[in-house]
Structure 1
């Protein structure tokens, strides 16, 4: 397993995320079919290929709602959409207001739906999330039917990580990014969980 923990002593300049540069592939967001409980948007490249990677993007708690739009104007989703370098499908579901945690089953069902509608390379399923979404990434790595090729977690939140089974994380490469000055996310708890995952895989 590849595990990388990036620790920042100060908050990141948000402009860093959005000014990476334009990607080589153009595309557009399109609202998906009505999905209960998560409406979603799909970023579709102008020119599709026979085998495309799928990136599942999970938003923060601040983008919860039912407008099916707030989740795609976040820095995480917009950065991905602005920097696609090869034809890819981006999937951005929206959790309803008041959602306590992302449902693994419901996210799996949406992925299955996307797989039936687009030419997805099952060996290139990726997942990323920020805060509430970062915790959703951990939930998916622990219990999803799908095997992800890699995961990036930005300040995964939660009251603790004791409910997650580190032995089920498999061989998914994971990158954790946290900030010491984060007033919401407990960076120590994230780091201790990171060490637990590392120890579990080492055994």
Structure 2
């Protein structure tokens, strides 16, 4: 019984500490006309508005959708709070949140004969409501004098990985580099972001988003793209973001790129 109580106490302590850490992410919103999007933003330590800083946009997966302006920090939020990351890569990091009834990317979700989820990605087409708002939010951030427009990056996982590809093709001239974790796209869209350096990650045993989607994008980009890195984790399932976030070269690679 004492062990159970101790375990519960430790669990609550960890959750409390995480919540306290996430308070370093300020709450914000972008509302203009019919567009509205809520986000959390982490400013560099000793932030000086007279300096210019890189801007990182990170897009969460479908499980973190909602309106609490908090859940989107579950995966990736801790990475940018690490002391060495804040010291070595001072940047403005933004985690926007997608509502529960929307999707970053414009895709169709069906089921095959066996009941397995099947994704088909739209070639071209209009942006979803939240993608349109996201584009407006990014444009608003780029107007701020303390944002370095030469170092704007985007990354995302799962649904956010799909959103990363879509954002790259819709705003192809804005990003210096990008990372996409267990995402996917219509390979016909690749021409629109082939000049953006991209690091793609996927788990070979992913049973939620088929790794074949990332493989197809990586293989196509290797023939037409400017720079592509592809990491396939042989034993990882859908949560390949855990391995991606642990890559020692992830952030050095990302921040090394400038427009």
Q: How high is the TM-score relative to the length of structure 1?
A: 0.76
Identify the residue that residue 63 of structure 1 maps to in structure 2.
64
**Structure 2 residue corresponding to 1:124, chosen from 142, 147, 151:** 151
Residue 193 of structure 1 and its aligned partner are, at CA, apart by 1.9
1:52-91 mapped onto 2 (5 Å cutoff): 52-72=53-73, 74-82=74-82, 83-84=85-86, 85-91=88-94
- Of 181, 188, 196, the residue aligned with 2:205 is 181
Name the CA distance, whole Å, in 2 between partners of 1:175 and 1:162: 17
Report the secondary structure of 1:75's partner residue: coil
Counterpart of 1:198? 222
Looking at both structures, which has the greater relative contact order when contacts are Cα pairs under 8 Å and sequence separation is at least 6?
1
Aligned-pair CA distance for 1:145: 5.8
Q: Distance in 1 between matches of 2:176 and 2:30?
A: 28
1:134-159 CA-to-partner distances (Å, cap 9, x unmatched) read 001000111116421111111115xx
Say whether the 8 Å CA contact 2:43–2:91 is kept in structure 1.
Answer: yes
Tell me, yes or no, if structure 1 residue 45 matches structure 2 residue 44: yes
Question: What is the aligned residue count?
Answer: 172
Contact 2:187 2:217 in 1 (8 A): no
Q: Equivalent residue of 1:136, what SS?
A: helix
Gaps of 5+ in 1: 1-26
What's the offset of the Cα at 1:98?
A: 2.2
Cα distance in 1 between the residues matched to 2:137 and 2:172: 12
Residue 99 of structure 2 is aligned to residue 96 of structure 1: yes
* Alpha-carbon distance between aligned partners in 2 of 1:77 and 1:134, rounded to the nearest angstrom: 16
Higher helix share: 2
SS at match of 1:32: strand
Distance of 1:139 and 1:43 partners within structure 2: 24
Residues 89-98 or 38-47, more deviating? 38-47
User: Which structure: larger Rg?
Assistant: 2
C-alpha RMSD of matched pairs (Å): 2.1
- The residue matched to 1:110 in structure 2 has which SS? helix
Q: 1:134 aligns with which of 161, 168, 175?
A: 161
> Does structure 1 retain, via aligned residues, the 8 Å contact 2:187–2:216?
no
